[in-house]
Amino acid sequence: MIFVDAGAFIARFRESDDHHVAAVHGWAALARGHLRLFTTNLVLMESAKLLAEIRGYRWAATRVAAWLDSKELQILRSGSEEEIEAARLMGKYADQRIGLVDCVSITFMRRHGIKRAFAFDRHFRVAGFELWPGE
């Protein structure tokens, strides 16, 4: 099981991104590996906004529709319980400047026993998770 963060979605399609090559290779490895992939609706919203600015809104809308329809990607949707826990985590990690969307992701990762994040920021490592495909 791997949690997919916005950085992995964005770096895959932004060639100027420092993590573009790692993201492309990571997505190819995931396609071969048949692993269960998780993300949140909040991560998709964050990704859609940034990809729309990079590639255009029509292109981003097509990508988001494909992700929402994907059988390989399970989308977790937060409710008040997860959001309250995420706010608590945001306070706990205030010195690390971990935002609310990442804290919701961390909440779901802990609940579902997901140990690895397809991510390129240190916030997941700070919270005790493994970054995949590596730093």
Q: E strands within 1-135?
A: 2-4, 37-40, 73-76, 116-118, 130-132
CA distance 49 to 104: 18
Q: Tens digit of pLDDT for each residue in 41-57? A: 999 999 999 999 999 99
Q: Is 19 helix (H, G, I), strand (E, B) or coil?
A: coil
CB 129 within 8 A of CB 121: no
pLDDT (0 to 100) of residue 118: 97
pLDDT means per 10 residues in the chain (135 residues)?
96 94 94 90 96 96 94 94 96 95 97 96 93 81
pLDDT (0 to 100) of residue 133: 86
CB 9 within 8 A of CB 37: no
pLDDT (0 to 100) of residue 63: 94
What domains lie within the chain, and their CATH numbers? 2-132 (3.40.50.1010)
pLDDT (0 to 100) of residue 33: 81
